[in-house]
Each structure stands twice: as structure tokens, then as C-alpha cells.
Structure 1
Amino acid sequence: MKARVTIMLKDGVLDPQGEAIRHALGGLGHRGVTGVRQGKLIELDLDAADPDTARTEIERMCERLLANTVIEKYSVEIV
């Protein structure tokens, strides 16, 4: 079973990498970009009996290692 975890900074947390990307895009002539939020995408291959079991295990992974839940939010997609 394959899963995708998307990790983004929570709203209100400053995103200096996103701001650097926005600034660079402006320098390349893309002036209409007013905001950029940069995040991570992690793909996992799992041996799981069913999607619910996989989701539960992935959420444990996110809480313990993959995401800094103080400043980041995550979403899980089973594909």
C-alpha cells in the first residue's frame, strides 16, 4: 500500500523559504505571485492489512518523527 504525507507550516508561522521562493519568482518576471508556502511530500510504501490501519500507523509516524506538530500540520492520503 502506498501513502503520501504532505507536511506544511501551520498558518501564522513565518515561512522564510517560501518568501525566498516568492522573491526569486518575482526576479524571474513572475510578478503576480503574492505568497508562497513551502512544504514537504513524503511517500511511504507500507505492508498494512487495510487503509484504516495504514492511516493510524502513519499518523503515529507523523506525531513521533515526520512532522514537528508544534509548527507543522500534516495530511495523509492513501493511494
Structure 2
Amino acid sequence: MKARVHITLKSGVLDPQGRAIAHALEALGFDGVQDVRQGKYIELDIAETDPERARATVEAMCDKLLANTVIENYAVDLAD
């Protein structure tokens, strides 16, 4: 099963990389970008066929390693 994990900073957490991206876009002539928030995308192939168990496994991975749950949120999408 394939798991796609999207990790983003929680609202209210400063995002210096997002700010740098916004400044770079402005310098390149892309006006009108008011805010940029950057994140991470992780794709996993796991040897699990039960969607509930696969989700639980991936969420455990996120809680223990992939995401800093103090300042980040994550969303898991599963596909066969």
C-alpha cells in the first residue's frame, strides 16, 4: 500500500522558509503573493493491505519520527 504524508507547520508557527520563498517570488516579479507556507511531502510504500492498520502504522511513524507534532500537522492519504 502507498501512503502519502503531507506535513505542514501549524498556524501561528513562524515559517522563515515560507517568508524567504515569498520574497524570492516577489523579486522574480510575481506580485500578489501575500503569504507562503512551506511543508514536506513523504511517500511510503508499506507492506500492509488493511487500510486501518496501514493508517495506524503511518500515523505512528509520523508521531515518532516524520513530524514534529508540537509545531507541525500531518495528513495521511492511502492508495492501493
Shift of 1:73: 0.4
Secondary structure in 1 matching 2:12:
coil
The answer for unaligned runs of 5 or more in structure 2 is none
Q: Give the Cα separation in 1 of the matches to 2:31 and 2:14.
A: 21
User: What percent of counterpart residues are identical?
Assistant: 63
Give the RMSD, CA atoms, in angstroms: 0.5
Are 1:39 and 2:23 matched, yes or no?
no
Q: Give the Cα separation in 2 of the matches to 1:66 and 1:37.
A: 18
Are 1:11 and 2:39 matched, yes or no?
no
Matched letter for residue 27 of structure 1:
A
TM-score, normalised via structure 2 length: 0.96
- Tell me the number of residue pairs that the alignment of Structure 1 and Structure 2 aligns: 79
The answer for unaligned runs of 5 or more in structure 1 is none
